[in-house]
Structure 1
Amino acid sequence: MDVGFRSVGTIILTLISLAACSPKTTTSVFNEADYGSQAACAGKALQNRYIVQWEDGHFTVETATTVDKFKKDFLEPNLKNVRKVEYDRVVQFERNTDIVKLADVDPTDYWGQDMIEASSVWGENVFGQNIKVGVIDSFVDTTHPQLWSNIDYNTAEIPGNGIDDDKNGYIDDYAGFTFISNPGTGTAVSDHGTHVAGIIAADSTKGYVKGMAPQAKIVPAPFIDGENGGSIGDAILALQYVSTRGVKIINASWGGAPCMQSLQNAFVELNNKGILVVVAAGNEGTDLDYSPDYPAAFNMANQITVAAGTPSDMMVHWSNSGFHLVHLAAPGVDILSTITNKRVGYMSGTSMAAPFVTGAAALLWSDRPQATAVEVKTALLRSVDVDPARQYKVQTLGRLNVRKALEELRKLVP
């Protein structure tokens, strides 16, 4: 399936043109027959939750006891201002991860950072300073000793008082905001979001972990619960929220989402705002060019999809791949980073590879703040290390090298 940006854009423009020639109806903006017709779009539709995209581009998630009540009480009165409606869906986000106990940690194990030559960039006093990164994932432990100083705190908000002090629509969003509408039945807290955040921006002066961009600021917006489930509507609201907080980059280390138009439209809105989105390719060992998974396969102009490599600089067997839809590889096996409860540990997955690229983008942008998302993406893709004897099955054939990427961006943006 070719879902390239140019094709998607043409389809969207065509749909807009057709809509302009036809009167808007509840069916034209909310066609219930569209859902569940493809295996790739499998997911549990929530009959009482609806993702609404308004004509100005922003999203809300609305609820109603029945679809007829939703149409009558909400959609019909607001029809002229509504662009698109879909059922929200709950999905289970699959991951290949491995956590090792603290006692087994080697505090000198930075093979990923070493392989991509991060220390060369740090040696030039480029640390991701003044760059904000949105982490759309599970819970991020903002009290972790290596993370708390690199959280982008909303100082206009008084934490814990139950009041929307800055009147931005989010109560107590002092250290990000939680979009988990259904916390699940268990009490487990996932380490995933904290691990991802640490790879991006852990403060290396306060512990073992060397974050890629140790002076960047994280805006956490969790939507995945402790059982690795979440809704697409919550993901869209989280994406929208961090885009209002001034982030330059969003890390989306999750997949298995249905190919919903609303999620794709959310990526388009981020592109319009000049935000780079880094997405994990997924861990099923499949070729996304032939078996697309989302959001990895959206292939937007502002998107980088990342496969996982090993310490021997080869693609790991469980990493998704694709010469068209996956852009480059990055370290993704036995990665040391922060986890909850002030601990550190190892995890593996394309979920770990993506934040290496996110952190690299933060480094580049902090050196060239006038660069565009496309220029940062171009620099990252042009500068990969390629070994002819063991090429990666990705668009660039290679693996991230942040030192070369910085040199490339300086050529693109003198």
Structure 2
Amino acid sequence: MRLLLGIVTLLFVTFGCAKKEQNPSNTTAQSTRVESPSASCDAKVIPGSYVVRWSSGYLQKLESWTSQEIDSVLVAQYSDYIELIEPNYRIDVPKTFSEASILSTQNSPDDAFWGVKNIEVEHVWSKGFYGQGVVVAVVDSGVDLTHPNLVGRIFTNTAELNGKEGVDDDGNGYVDDIYGYNFADRNPTNVDEAEHGTHVAGVIAANHDNNFVRGVAPQATILPADFMSAVSGSTASSIEAIDYSVKMGANIINASWGGPGCSAELKRTIEALAEKNVLFVTAAGNEGLNLEYYDVYPAKYNLSNQITVGALGTIHLRTWFSNFGNPVDVLAPGERIISTVPGGFSRQDGTSMAAPFVSGIAALYLSKYPQMKVSDLREKIVSSLVTGPYRIKTNGTVVLPEDF
């Protein structure tokens, strides 16, 4: 009865005035799509958890429901108001290849900055473009808000900062989200237990105050949208984090994660970003697979507002672990990348490290051309390349053009 009460309450709030609208098709779906998991997705299903997209646009996560209850309650009684129902799937924290943390800042390894040198970014900095005025959402495992190289780079929600504790001062549906939000634990506490999101954030926007890390766009703003714990997150939480990022003004979303193509709603959410002029940058994955024959998503969605990034190694070849094939748009440095982690720095390998180089490049372009359309931004990035035998769509690795 408690579950049914929640549904009835939602219907009253969301659809109570639906009959007053002149065009009922705005609120009533033709039919409800109930997505069933494929064999490859079975292992990723979170038992009893479902994602519901109501025809009003509202996204709801249901917990502790059986498939019989879904059929007898939602499908049988409320299908006119629902666009899609699908299982909630687990998204694992990406496996990266890392060395022991580097805690000393006295001596810089010889290859500390090979990534930023490889993308030829210094001349862009010399022209005064550092990503200023651009918000990059790191939809990931969280960001260490106190890291010295990220202080001053974290998004601040001034309405919540200057408001009352425990109150949703800006009316965005989230209480006290001063520095982003934790969708995994459903609170405003941002903790990077996986040491993944902080590393990604540092590649994008770490300041240049030490001998270890230089963010590609060191004046860009990082919006932490944490949806993964130390081990995993879910498609429902990732979708909510993406929606939140757009609501809070993100220009670019970095998604250094992936898995089987289980969620139709995740694809719909990413595709809809194009209408909001938001670029979606995602990692190709670390399985060493040809994505023309294997499924890894969101890498393989092939959307007009998306760039899928594989990993370039220090010897200027595609790394052994990087996925490849036509779904991969470009390569970026993804081996022996030193960046920020909670408490210090570490060197990591992975396409998770390559994607934020592209997000940083996108931020540099938007700092010069703030009104640029996402289609033009994407074209700028995927057409400025050094080509090689990489076996990807463009056969190129990203660089900043001399005439930037």
| TM-score grouping bracket, smaller chain normalisation | 0.7 to 0.9
Q: Which amino acid aligns with 1:272?
A: E
- Match among 327, 330, 345 for residue 329 of structure 2: 327
Partner of 1:402: 400
Partner of 2:202: 198
> Cα distance, 1:58 vs. partner?
4.5
Alignment of 1:365-384 (within 5 A): 365-384=366-385
Q: Which amino acid aligns with 2:392?
A: V
- Match among 109, 132, 141 for residue 144 of structure 2: 141
> Cα distance, 1:280 vs. partner?
0.3
**For residues 384 and 42 of structure 1, do their structure 2 counterparts lie closer, same or farther at Cα, with a shift above 3 Å needed?**
farther
- Match among 107, 110, 116 for residue 113 of structure 1: 116
User: How big is each residue's C-alpha offset from its partner over 1:354-412, in whole Å with a ceiling of 9 and x where there is no partner?
Assistant: 0000000000111111111111110111111114xxx21111111010235x63xxxxx
Worse overlay, 154-163 or 332-341: 154-163
Asked if structure 1 preserves the Cα contact closer than 8 Å seen for 2:254 and 2:280, the reply is yes
Worse overlay, 127-136 or 88-97: 88-97
Worse overlay, 345-354 or 264-273: 264-273
SS in 1 for 2:352: helix
> Cα distance, 1:207 vs. partner?
6.5
SS in 1 for 2:52: strand
**For residues 77 and 42 of structure 1, do their structure 2 counterparts lie closer, same or farther at Cα, with a shift above 3 Å needed?**
closer
Q: What is the distance in 2 between the residues matched to 1:188 and 1:374?
A: 32
User: How big is each residue's C-alpha offset from its partner over 1:39-83, in whole Å with a ceiling of 9 and x where there is no partner?
Assistant: 2x3443234322122334452323354344455555666543321
SS in 1 for 2:360: helix
Give unmatched runs, 5+ long, in structure 1: 1-19, 408-414
Q: What is the distance in 2 between the residues matched to 1:344 and 1:50?
A: 38
Asked if structure 2 preserves the Cα contact closer than 8 Å seen for 1:116 and 1:403, the reply is no
Worse overlay, 66-75 or 150-159: 66-75
Partner of 1:221: 225
> Cα distance, 1:29 vs. partner?
1.8
User: How big is each residue's C-alpha offset from its partner over 1:70-119, in whole Å with a ceiling of 9 and x where there is no partner?
Assistant: 55555666543321111111232442320333257753610000011111
Q: Which amino acid aligns with 1:336?
A: I
Q: What is the distance in 2 between the residues matched to 1:313 and 1:142?
A: 33
User: How big is each residue's C-alpha offset from its partner over 1:311-356, in whole Å with a ceiling of 9 and x where there is no partner?
Assistant: 111101110001x210000000010110002x11111100000000
Please give the TM-score of this superposition, normalised by the length of structure 1: 0.83
Q: What is the distance in 2 between the residues matched to 1:146 and 1:160?
A: 29
> Cα distance, 1:206 vs. partner?
6.2
Q: Which amino acid aligns with 1:59?
A: L
Partner of 2:87: 87
User: How big is each residue's C-alpha offset from its partner over 1:150-184, in whole Å with a ceiling of 9 and x where there is no partner?
Assistant: 1111011148923222221011110000011499x
Asked if structure 2 preserves the Cα contact closer than 8 Å seen for 1:182 and 1:230, the reply is no
> Cα distance, 1:266 vs. partner?
0.9
Identity %: 36
> Cα distance, 1:293 vs. partner?
0.5
Asked if structure 2 preserves the Cα contact closer than 8 Å seen for 1:139 and 1:193, the reply is yes
Partner of 1:277: 280
Q: What is the distance in 2 between the residues matched to 1:384 and 1:82?
A: 44
**For residues 142 and 182 of structure 1, do their structure 2 counterparts lie closer, same or farther at Cα, with a shift above 3 Å needed?**
closer
Worse overlay, 243-252 or 76-85: 76-85
Q: Which amino acid aligns with 1:200?
A: I
**For residues 42 and 117 of structure 1, do their structure 2 counterparts lie closer, same or farther at Cα, with a shift above 3 Å needed?**
farther
Q: What is the distance in 1 between the residues matched to 2:36 and 2:209?
A: 50
Worse overlay, 41-50 or 236-245: 41-50
Partner of 2:61: 61
Partner of 2:350: 349
Asked if structure 1 preserves the Cα contact closer than 8 Å seen for 2:113 and 2:212, the reply is no
Count of aligned pairs between the two proteins: 371
**For residues 24 and 251 of structure 1, do their structure 2 counterparts lie closer, same or farther at Cα, with a shift above 3 Å needed?**
closer
Partner of 1:100: 100
SS in 1 for 2:282: strand
SS in 2 for 1:107: coil
**For residues 189 and 24 of structure 1, do their structure 2 counterparts lie closer, same or farther at Cα, with a shift above 3 Å needed?**
closer
> Cα distance, 1:272 vs. partner?
1.9
Q: What is the distance in 2 between the residues matched to 1:384 and 1:130?
A: 25
SS in 2 for 1:156: helix
**For residues 142 and 70 of structure 1, do their structure 2 counterparts lie closer, same or farther at Cα, with a shift above 3 Å needed?**
same
Give unmatched runs, 5+ long, in structure 2: 1-24
Report the structure, 1 or 2, having the larger strand content. 2
> Cα distance, 1:273 vs. partner?
1.2
User: How big is each residue's C-alpha offset from its partner over 1:107-163, in whole Å with a ceiling of 9 and x where there is no partner?
Assistant: 361000001111111011000000001101102101111112011110111489232
Asked if structure 2 preserves the Cα contact closer than 8 Å seen for 1:93 and 1:256, the reply is no
Q: Which amino acid aligns with 2:382?
A: L
- Does 2:340 match 1:338? yes
Q: What is the distance in 1 between the residues matched to 2:398 and 2:197?
A: 22
Partner of 1:166: 170
Q: What is the distance in 1 between the residues matched to 2:67 and 2:164?
A: 36
Q: Which amino acid aligns with 1:332?
A: G
> Cα distance, 1:36 vs. partner?
2.8
> Cα distance, 1:256 vs. partner?
1.4
Q: What is the distance in 1 between the residues matched to 2:101 and 2:77?
A: 56
Asked if structure 2 preserves the Cα contact closer than 8 Å seen for 1:100 and 1:347, the reply is no
